[in-house]
Amino acid sequence: MARVLVSGGAGFIGANFVHHWLATHADEPVVVLDALTYAGNLANLEPVRERAELCFVRGDIRDTALVERLLREQRLDTIVHFAAESHVDRSIHGPDAFIETNVQGTHAMLKAARTVWLEERTVPVHRFHHVSTDEVYGSLDPHDPPFSERTPYAPNSPYSASKAASDHLVRAYHHTYGLATTISNCSNNYGPFHFPEKLIPLMIVNLLHGRELPIYGDGRNVRDWLHVSDHCRGIECILERGRPGEVYNIGGGAESENLQLVETLCAVADGAFAADAHLAGRFPDAPAARGEKSASLIRFVKDRPGHDRRYAIDCSKAERELGYRAEVTLARGLGETFAWYLANEWWWRSVMDGSYQRWIETHYR
């Protein structure tokens, strides 16, 4: 039985992890620590808000004293560290927050874990799991082998550089102090509760409103898509069977060029509108509401500076050592994700205009 602190548990992947953990580890306490930045929203935890095992704390991971107090007072023995600034485009426009949260914030969490777990010895066994990204490995050419755990680091954006720095700090705390750490580097996640600034949810929301679908550069950049439910199971495998000090790559085995991915999403939307006449009434500005192609909204726009060409993950180590397998194919995942956004219009409208956050702060605080 684990007693888990989930940092960033009100964000996209963190919230999906909390849902997954509570569904598979009944009666195990989960404390979510989240600052509720623009990317964190209590609406992401709405499905589990009433669960007695869940405790939400609004706070900053850079507050070492707060993290120490949570670990100590709740006798937590596991940290799953998601909290970060996560959007590459934002890191290009304003890198400071990325250094503050991703580097200084991770270091503050490590310091707290060291004090409480190694010096005060509050629990017999502990684990600090750090969630990182494949972007630390840089960019691949079309015929390069996928990133393995032995690929040298070569981060290209302020975001990936800040994540690389945080990975190095985690590694150093294991080697120097003996903190029981694990790191996972995963590829592009998608699925429910994905904030509509990232490619897939942005395209879904835009096409439903008849807005343009901006494709950076020539649209030939490749990402390896990982359904968030597979990622959460991958982290669970690492917590249960991963060895302290080790790094595990988690991928979806689903490479796609951006243009191809957006065209597939457009075809999914066109099929959904053709199958359900009510959608034209709900989203009258969507081209599909008039029987036109959603792909007519695609526009090529100026490229992202320093845009990495290709990411691909070799996750054979996690498969071999932990029994990890990605289960959700990209075709199935995109269909289910589109359906989720149709069924949860309240969610994306409320996180985009902040209305859920205001409502819950009025009613529950």
User: Whose Cβ is closer to ligand NAD: residue 195's or residue 356's?
Assistant: 195
What is the largest distance, in Å, between two alpha-carbon atoms of the chain? 66
The residue type found at 213 is: L
What is the helix (H) or strand (E) element at residue 335, kind and residue range? helix 330-343
What is the helix (H) or strand (E) element at residue 21, kind and residue range? helix 12-24
* Contact residue for ligand DAU among 127, 223, 233, 310 (CB under 6 A): 223
For the CB of residue 216, give the shortest distance to ligand DAU in the complex, in Å.
4
Alpha helices in 178-286 (DSSP H): 199-209, 228-241, 258-275, 278-282
For the CB of residue 218, give the shortest distance to ligand DAU in the complex, in Å.
10
User: Whose Cβ is closer to ligand DAU: residue 202's or residue 272's?
Assistant: 202
Region 240-269 residues binding ligand DAU, contact defined as CB under 6 A: 258
Active site residue 63: no
User: With CB cut-offs between 5 and 8 Å by kind, which of ligand DAU, ligand NAD, none does residue 88 bind?
Assistant: ligand DAU
User: With CB cut-offs between 5 and 8 Å by kind, which of ligand DAU, ligand NAD, none does residue 215 bind?
Assistant: ligand DAU
Q: Confirm or reject binding of residue 133 to ligand DAU (CB under 6 A).
A: yes
Q: Confirm or reject binding of residue 30 to ligand DAU (CB under 6 A).
A: no
Catalytic residue from among 159, 173, 190, 248: 159
Catalytic residue from among 135, 230, 308, 314: 135
For the range 331-337, what are the long-range contacts, defined as Cβ-Cβ under 8 Å and sequence gap of 24 or more? 331/264, 333/190, 333/191, 333/225, 333/227, 333/252, 333/254, 334/190, 334/200, 334/261, 334/264, 334/265, 334/268, 335/268, 336/191, 337/190, 337/191, 337/192, 337/194, 337/200, 337/204
Closest CA to 215 of 235, 200, 230, 195: 200
Residue with CB nearest ligand NAD? 11
Closest CA to 163 of 106, 110, 108: 106
Catalytic residue from among 60, 85, 134, 319: 134
C-beta of residue 42 within 8 angstroms of C-beta of residue 362: no
Half-sphere exposure of 362 (CA within 13 A, CB side): 6
Alpha helices in 55-125 (DSSP H): 64-73, 88-93, 96-98, 106-113
Q: Confirm or reject binding of residue 131 to ligand DAU (CB under 6 A).
A: no
For the CB of residue 364, give the shortest distance to ligand DAU in the complex, in Å.
29
Active site residue 135: yes
Active site residue 353: no
User: With CB cut-offs between 5 and 8 Å by kind, which of ligand DAU, ligand NAD, none does residue 181 bind?
Assistant: none
For binding to ligand NAD (CB under 6 A), which residues are involved?
Answer: 7-8, 10-14, 34-37, 39-40, 60-62, 82-84, 86, 101, 105, 131, 133, 163, 186, 188-189, 195
* Contact residue for ligand DAU among 88, 116, 161, 180 (CB under 6 A): 88
* Contact residue for ligand DAU among 34, 60, 77, 134 (CB under 6 A): 134
SS3 state of residue 94? coil
For the CB of residue 35, give the shortest distance to ligand NAD in the complex, in Å.
4
* Contact residue for ligand DAU among 34, 135, 167, 270 (CB under 6 A): 135
C-beta of residue 40 within 8 angstroms of C-beta of residue 59: no
User: With CB cut-offs between 5 and 8 Å by kind, which of ligand NAD, ligand DAU, none does residue 36 bind?
Assistant: ligand NAD
What is the C-alpha separation between 358 and 363, in angstroms, rounded? 9
Per CB under 6 A, residues contacting ligand DAU are: 86-88, 133-135, 187-188, 198-199, 202, 214-216, 221, 223, 258, 304, 311
Instruction: Name the residues annotated as catalytic.
Output: 134-135, 159
